[in-house]
């Protein structure tokens, strides 16, 4: 009998402890309620619902058109729209400003964010908090759309963000993060901004399955952002695809960089990054697919470079990188460098311009391949010489350099070129 009583007391004690822990995390079982907002409801405005809410409450906004702005969220609540909910900020101030942990904003359409050169006005702004979720929203005609500052353990997912940027100086970013950690950015579409996604001082975060297109500057731009992973994203028709600067321990896998054309456009620009992995990505029809400047100890492996102007531009100050098992097809220039020295490793790549042979049938060429042409180096020194592209003189230059190599980097060579394309699972 005493044993049974002790078991009951232990279970009761554990239950009390669990309730206490949930209360500490912001759950208020005594007062949690659903607050409904609509034109025919007792509560007619979102601002009024926010003022009446307590931690743990759910605000349900019924279908309708709401003209409101500066919506302060300072309780741990869930805000969700039912059917089509449009919140028009009327180019006045900003939308939701979240300053409490464990807030969810979902299923809303927010539009018309004012351009402001002093404040980064946003549709949804999250400041100095954690555990927030922004999902399934539509944000149109925005300056900044979703903005996180000094926050962690948040999710930004399944949002459609469309701006109408006319110039870089008068536009903000679709998704903007500053000094955040452990963020999941997943399956969002961003377009019509300065940068589709902008990340600064971001750590230990993941970006998966996002589509960033038709932005003025970059599809994604990140600086000082270490130990992050970017997987299966698409960057298409931006001023440039992605810019990575002053960063280390980055992984970029299975992304697509497509149709990023322009006089200074890149699939991905890497400046001063190190100890990172660029693997199984596809670079298709970019002016320059990969540009490296001051970047060291990168693994560039199993990527497809297809029909780009330059597949890779690697400056002489980029050292100890490995370029292995990539496919180069239909590029005007495969590799270009501004230096006669090479401190990187090229091996087991497939080059469609390779004219060697394979006597032992092991699918590895018996003759080394030099992917840098004399003409590509000439263009680096004299950009105007691009006018000679596909002329007889360029062919003569390249044939002469192959016979008597003098100007191209002597050690920039793939000693084991593949005869057939590399295929990965």
Task: For 386-406, give one letter per residue: b (16+ CB within 10 A) or e.
Answer: eeeeeeeebeebbeebeeeee
Beta-bridge partners for 206: 184, 229
Q: Mean per-residue pLDDT for 60-66? A: 97
- Count of domains for the chain: 2
Q: Is residue 311 part of a domain?
A: yes
- Point out the least confidently predicted range of 110-124, 247-261, 289-303: 110-124
Nearest to 78 by CA among 42, 44, 27, 38: 27
388 within domain boundaries: no
Q: Among 196, 223, 238, identify where a domain stops.
A: 238
Q: CA neighbours within 13 Å on the CB side: how many for 246?
A: 7
276, 250 Cβ separation under 8 angstroms: yes
pLDDT at 261: 81
Tell me, yes or no, whether 194 and 300 share the same domain: no
The fraction of the chain above a pLDDT of 70, given in percent, is 84
Pick the residue with more confidence: 393 or 70?
70
Confidence of residue 29 (pLDDT cuts 50, 70, 90): very low
Q: Are residues 335 and 290 in the same domain?
A: yes
- Helix, strand, or coil here: 208? strand
85 pLDDT more than 80: yes
CB 315 within 8 A of CB 294: yes
Same domain, 177 and 126: yes
- Same domain? For 197 and 322 the reply is no
Q: What angle do CA 282, 183, 71 make, to 5 degrees?
A: 120
Which of 190, 212, 238 is the last residue before a domain boundary?
A: 238
The reply to whether 167 and 214 lie within a common domain is: yes
21: CB partners within 8 A, 6+ apart: none
Is 11 within the bounds of a domain? no
| pLDDT tens, residue by residue, 102-149 | 999 999 999 999 888 888 999 999 999 999 999 999 999 999 999 999
Instruction: Please state, rounded to an integer, the average pLDDT across all residues of the chain.
Output: 87
Q: How far apart are CA 297 and CA 248, in angstroms?
A: 10
pLDDT tens, 336-371? 888 777 889 999 999 999 988 889 889 999 999 888
pLDDT confidence bin for 23, thresholds 50/70/90? very low
154, part of any domain: yes
Q: Does one domain contain both 73 and 141?
A: yes
- Least confident among 8-17, 68-77, 228-237, 365-374: 8-17
Last residue of a domain, one of 238, 273, 301: 238
**3-state SS, residue 218:** strand
**Do 157 and 203 lie in a common domain?**
yes
- Domain coverage including residue 55: 31-238
Q: Angle of helix 392-403 relative to helix 374-381, nearest 10 degrees? A: 110
Cβ neighbours around 284 below 10 Å, total: 19
Contact 320, 292 (CB under 8 A): no
Say whether both 161 and 270 belong to one domain. Answer: no
- Judge whether residue 172 has pLDDT over 90: yes
- Whether 419 maps to a domain, the answer reads yes
Indicate whether 1 belongs to any domain.
no
Q: What is the DSSP letter of 168?
A: G
Q: How far apart are CA 172 and CA 174, in angstroms?
A: 7
Model confidence at 408, in pLDDT bands (50, 70, 90)?
low
Distance CA 12, CA 83 (A): 42
- Clarify whether residues 232 and 243 are in a common domain: no
Q: How confident is the model at residue 22 (pLDDT cuts 50, 70, 90)?
A: very low
CA dihedral 165→171→175→180, nearest 10 degrees, is 170
The four Cα atoms 206, 208, 213, 215 give a dihedral, to 10 degrees, of: -10
The per-residue pLDDT for range 372-400, each reduced to its tens digit, is 865 555 555 555 455 555 555 555 555 55
Task: Judge whether 37 and 57 are in contact, CB under 8 Å.
Answer: no
Identify which of 75, 138, 136, 133 has the alpha carbon closest to the alpha carbon of residue 112: 138
Between 167 and 51, residue with greater pLDDT: 51
Co-location of 222 and 180 in the same domain: yes
Q: What is the model's pLDDT at position 386? A: 54
Q: Is the pLDDT of residue 300 over 60?
A: yes
Tens digit of pLDDT for each residue in 224-241? Answer: 999 999 999 999 999 999
CA-closest candidate to residue 294, choices 267, 281, 266, 313? 313
Least Cα distance to 95 among 119, 123, 115 occurs for 123
**Is residue 383 one of the residues assigned to a domain?**
no
CA distance 348 to 365: 9
Residue 372: predicted pLDDT: 80
20 part of a folded domain? no
229 and 325 share one domain: no
**Of 29 and 395, which is predicted with more confidence?**
395
What pLDDT is stored for residue 117 in this prediction? 80
Give tens-digit pLDDT for 144-166.
999 999 999 999 999 999 999 88
Rounded to an integer, the average pLDDT of 73-101 is 96
* Same domain, yes or no: 264 and 227: no
Q: What is the CATH number of the domain that holds 57?
A: 2.160.20.10
**8 Å CB contact between 94 and 124:** no
């Amino acid at each position: 009998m005493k044993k049974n009583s002790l078991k009951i007391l232990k279970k009761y004690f554990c239950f009390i402890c669990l309730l206490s822990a949930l209360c500490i995390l912001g759950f208020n079982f005594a007062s949690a309620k659903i607050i409904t907002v609509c034109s025919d409801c007792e509560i007619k405005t979102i601002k009024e619902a926010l003022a009446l809410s307590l931690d743990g409450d759910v605000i349900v906004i019924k279908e309708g058109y709401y003209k409101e702005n500066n919506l302060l969220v300072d309780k741990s609540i869930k805000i969700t729209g039912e059917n089509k909910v449009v919140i028009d900020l009327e180019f006045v101030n900003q939308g939701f400003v979240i300053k409490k942990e464990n807030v969810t904003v979902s299923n809303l359409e927010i539009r018309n964010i004012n351009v402001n050169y002093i404040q980064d006005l946003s549709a949804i702004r999250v400041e100095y908090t954690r555990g927030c979720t922004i999902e399934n929203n539509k944000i149109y005609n925005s300056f900044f759309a979703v903005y996180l500052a000094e926050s962690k353990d948040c999710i930004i997912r399944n949002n459609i963000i469309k701006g109408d940027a006319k110039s870089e100086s008068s536009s903000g970013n679709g998704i903007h993060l500053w000094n955040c950690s452990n963020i999941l950015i997943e399956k969002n579409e961003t377009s019509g901004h300065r940068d589709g996604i902008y990340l600064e001082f971001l750590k230990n975060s993941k970006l998966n399955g996002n589509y960033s297109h038709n932005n003025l500057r970059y599809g994604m731009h990140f600086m000082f952002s270490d130990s992050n992973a970017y997987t299966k994203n698409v960057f298409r028709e931006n001023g440039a695809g992605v810019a990575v600067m002053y960063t280390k321990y980055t992984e970029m896998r299975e992304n697509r960089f497509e149709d990023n054309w322009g006089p200074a456009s890149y699939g991905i620009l890497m400046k001063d990054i190190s100890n990172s992995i660029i693997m199984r990505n596809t670079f298709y029809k970019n002016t320059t697919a990969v540009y490296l400047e001051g970047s060291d100890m990168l693994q560039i492996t199993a990527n497809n470079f297809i029909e780009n102007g330059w597949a890779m531009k690697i400056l002489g100050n980029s050292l100890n990188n490995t370029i292995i098992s990539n496919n180069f097809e239909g590029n005007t220039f495969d590799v270009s460098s501004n230096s006669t020295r090479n401190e990187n490793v090229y091996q087991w790549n497939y080059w469609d311009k390779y004219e060697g042979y394979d006597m032992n049938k092991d699918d590895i060429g018996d003759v080394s391949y030099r992917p840098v042409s004399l003409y590509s180096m000439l263009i680096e020194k004299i950009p105007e010489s691009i006018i000679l592209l596909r002329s007889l003189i360029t062919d003569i230059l390249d044939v002469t350099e192959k016979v008597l190599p003098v100007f191209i980097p002597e050690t920039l060579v793939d000693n084991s070129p593949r005869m057939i394309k590399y295929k990965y699972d």
